[in-house]
Amino acid sequence: VQLQASGGGMVQAGDSLRLSCTASERFSSTYTVAWFRQAPGKEREFVAAEFRSYGRKYYADPVKGRFTITRDNAKNTVTLQMNSLKPEDTAVYYCAADRNLILSQIGAQSQYDYWGQGTLVTVSS
C-alpha cells in the first residue's frame, strides 16, 4: 500500500492544523495506522496510532489531549487533528501503516512496513 501525507503548513502557537494520509488501497480494520514526527536534529518519534481490529487509540504524552487520530476506512484516509499547537510540535510528520505488528509494538517505527513521504508542520511562537 502507498501512503500520501498532506496538510502541513506554517501556523502560530495555539492554532490548529489537520493532517491527512491517503492510502492507495482500502484501510481495512486489519491495518494499524499511525503518525510519527521528526523534529530538526532529532530522531523520529511516535505521535499517535489506532490499533487494528478494535480501533483503540494511543497517543504520546506530549500530544495527549491536543491531537486526535481518526481513521475513515471508506475514504482510505487517516487524519491527525492537531489543536493548541506549540513551537515544539514543529516537525516533519509521517503517516505509517502495518498489518502485522502487535500492540506492544505500536510505538516502534521499525515495525511499520508502509510509510508516507512526510509533511512539514512549522509552529511559530
pLDDT at 55: 80
Query: What does DSSP assign to residue 25?
Result: S
Inform me whether the pLDDT recorded for 27 exceeds 80. Answer: no
Residues 13, 24: Cα–Cα separation, whole Å: 33
Q: Which residues contact 23 (CB under 8 A, 6 or more apart)?
A: 1, 2, 3, 4, 76, 77, 78, 97
Question: What separation in angstroms does the CA of 82 have from each of 60, 111, 115?
Answer: 13, 24, 20
pLDDT at 96: 97
The average pLDDT across 7-26 equals 96
The average pLDDT across 88-115 equals 96
Q: What is the mean pLDDT of the chain?
A: 95
Phi/psi at 74 (nearest 5 deg)?
Answer: -65, -30
Three-point CA angle 30, 72, 77, nearest 5°: 90
Confidence of residue 34 (pLDDT cuts 50, 70, 90): very high
